[in-house]
DNA sequence: CCAAGTACATAACAACACAAAGTACTTTAT
DNA sequence: ATAAAGTACTTTGTGTTGTTATGTACTTGG
């Protein structure tokens, strides 16, 4: 898969998933990798950025089947960011569609 | 606009437009900027990369209304690359759609 | 004890959009 | 003439961010 395509989209995907239910990193990797190739080195730095931006919060939960899990939940600001990004995403793919099958005007 | 979204997509857009008819850089900028914000610093290096990859060829045409224009045409290899990228693009936006309104399975 | 699975973190790297600045030609206004 | 604006291409530096690789640490099974 073209790795460049993921840029700017992964953040939106993570926000969407976390807004549905609190998740920990490893869980997100498994969930997202069902649809696109992804690794730890992509998700963990992204989660860190999102937390620094104030889009998500985190809390630790001990686990009986391995090391403790760091759960992430969406903040109000994250919810707003998510909405903006979903909107931008729609506009963007519409623009690309227009270019692919039109030229510049319409078809 | 989220500039990261363009990554990996612009190349496809340029290939699509050039495959319809030979274009020069300045023309491409005007055409693409109808749908998404874009500047010279984005297109010219991209055209250079595409030529180095063998996806497009170029030839100079003198102009009466300014400096000579460097026209680009798609190669057979560029045509194949275009097809692959269009396919990948479709699969990618389908994957994102699935994440946005499903979770991982379906809805 | 060691491998494998779970879980997180970080450092080095590479790709690429973008801003900015430069070159160079033509036309129009001063 | 010359200054400004539009056309057209090029290059350099920077910032963002996905990827690879590595390290830490816990638990379970052989």
Predicted pLDDT at A63: 87
Inter-chain touch A103–B20, beta carbons under 8 Å: yes
CATH number at residue B62: 1.10.10.10
Which residues of chain A are modeled with pLDDT < 50?
Answer: 104-107
Q: Which residue has the higher pLDDT, B79 or B8?
A: B79
Predicted pLDDT at A103: 52
Q: Do the domain assignments include residue B92? A: yes
Q: What is the CA radius of gyration of chain A?
A: 16
Predicted pLDDT at A102: 76
Structure tokens at B66: 């300014």
User: Could you tell me the distance in Å between the CA of residue B99 and the C1' of nucleotide C4?
Assistant: 30
Q: Is the pLDDT of residue B103 over 80?
A: no
Q: Do the domain assignments include residue B107? A: no
Q: The whole model's pTM is what?
A: 0.89
* Whole-angstrom distance, CA of residue A98 vs CA of residue A94: 6
The residue among A24, A4, A71, A58 whose CA lies nearest residue B89 is: A4
Q: Do the domain assignments include residue B19? A: yes
The residue among A24, A18, A37, A38 whose CA lies nearest residue A66 is: A24
Predicted pLDDT at A9: 94
The residue among A95, A34, A1 whose CA lies nearest residue B88 is: A1
**B7 touches A: beta carbon within 8 Å:** yes
Q: Is the pLDDT of residue B7 over 70?
A: yes
Instruction: Give the closest of A8, A13, A99 to B2, CB-based.
Output: A8
Q: Which residue has the higher pLDDT, A41 or B104?
A: A41
- How is residue B68 annotated by DSSP? P
Q: Do the domain assignments include residue B20? A: yes
User: Could you tell me the distance in Å between the CA of residue B45 and the C1' of nucleotide D13?
Assistant: 14
Q: Domain span at residue B10?
A: 3-100
The total number of residues written for chain A in this structure: 107
Predicted pLDDT at A3: 84
| pLDDT tens track for B59-73 | 999 988 889 999 999
Instruction: Give the closest of A3, A93, A99 to B16, CB-based.
Output: A99
| pLDDT tens track for B12-30 | 999 999 999 999 999 999 9
Q: Do the domain assignments include residue B31? A: yes
Q: Do the domain assignments include residue A105? A: no
Q: Which residues of A touch B10 (CB under 8 A)?
A: none
Chain C nucleotides reached by a protein CB under 7 Å: 5-12, 15-22, 24-27
- How many structural domains are present in chain A? 1
Q: Do the domain assignments include residue B106? A: no
Predicted pLDDT at A2: 77
Q: Do the domain assignments include residue B42? A: yes
Q: What is the mean pLDDT of residues B44-73?
A: 94
């Amino acid at each position: 898969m073209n790795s460049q395509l993921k840029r700017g989209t992964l953040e939106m995907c993570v926000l969407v998933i976390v807004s549905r239910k609190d998740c920990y990193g490893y869980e997100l990797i498994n969930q997202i990798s069902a649809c696109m190739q992804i690794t730890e080195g992509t998700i963990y730095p992204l989660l860190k950025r999102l937390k620094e931006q104030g889009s998500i919060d985190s809390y630790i939960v001990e686990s009986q089947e391995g090391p403790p899990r760091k759960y992430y939940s969406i903040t109000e600001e994250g919810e707003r960011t998510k909405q903006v990004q979903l909107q931008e995403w729609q506009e963007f793919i519409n623009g690309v569609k227009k270019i692919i099958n039109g030229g510049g005007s319409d078809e």
